[in-house]
Chain A
């Protein structure tokens, strides 16, 4: 029923750091989350992309050193595809993801507080419906706990190098978008002042 007190405290401390980072990253805000999906505000992609590249380097180094093990979720295509679709739609309408809903509650946001109650209701429904959901989750097959390096028989470091390279190109592209945006604002001001 309970983990050891040390492990509970460790979870709490990790969570405090996580929540602090999410709030400072401005992702506990409806306008930033929905702004990402309207392809205007790229904060969410910048944070997640950087976290994935930096995280991957450390985790695969730890695994290589025998200091950590991977915890990969199974590729149950039915559950992942339907779940991903429901999740994406729900996240846009709510305006927060699960972690940022909790962080938004910490920031005082009322809609997020009601959102958390809805999340609990959704979890109650999921557990109650669990037996009936199994054919849906497993309906398109179970590929097991596979990684992309497993599937392609390649080194994880090849993938990490690829992600880092894609990340650097992404950073440069997003900078370009920012500069372009600034230029057009300046142009508007110039037009405004000359009129």
Chain B
């Protein structure tokens, strides 16, 4: 019998059912939706407070979050992010589906093979992406999955906007011809 844990991929609908059921588990056990980007904001806030303690007074962020009952902390969501790394590591080790890739094929076709260029743009894009997620208070997990499944109006607006802009960006960068490289 084939061990499913050593397979390189599972059918997308099965993975979707798994994530749906996992969200029941998260709500029932931790009273928490699945979400990733809040942990980055918490880490940033704790880092700034550690380096410049005065920000706790000068930046209204800290008082506002404390008033909401959500002060920056190392909590459930922070460990969720650590777990995502470990789970993906474990899954890829079990199946051998590992990649040390720096420059993806599609990127190479369009922008060339320079690792420095790819990494510099990845850094900037990561910064823009999380800045946007925090402006909207959620990402693909917090809004896209957890918010949408709660039928939150904010999450449906966010999902429609991000999908439209992401699609427009993809066609602006790579055009129809790009599809041959993915």
Contacts and interface: CB of A to CB of B under 8 A. Distances in A.
B151 A56 contact: yes
Interface in A106-131: 106-112, 114-128, 130-131
A97 B45 CA distance: 21
A58 B166 contact: no
Given A38-B170, A119-B127, A82 B104 contact: no
Contacts, number: 519
Interface of A: 1-3, 7-26, 28-32, 34-35, 37-43, 46-59, 62, 67-77, 79-95, 97-112, 114-128, 130-131, 133, 136-137, 143, 145-151, 156, 159-160, 171
Interface in B26-76: 26-34, 36-37, 40-41, 43-48, 59-61, 73-76
A82 B173 contact: no
Interface string B13-31: 1011111111111111111
A11 B36 CA distance: 11
Given A86-B135, A110-B119, 9 more contacts: A11-B32, A17-B83, A38-B178, A50-B20, A88-B166, A93-B169, A94-B126, A107-B89, A123-B130
Nearest to A136: B135
Given A18-B19, A50-B13, A79 B136 contact: yes
Interface of B: 7, 9-10, 12-13, 15-34, 36-37, 40-41, 43-48, 59-61, 73-92, 95, 97-107, 115, 118-119, 121-171, 173-174, 176, 178-179, 181-182
Q: Which 6 A-B pairs have the closest CB atoms?
A: A15-B83, A50-B16, A19-B87, A54-B20, A118-B126, A83-B136
A127 B86 contact: no
Nearest to B58: A131
A19 to B, nearest CB: 3
Nearest to A2: B74
B2 to A, nearest CB: 14
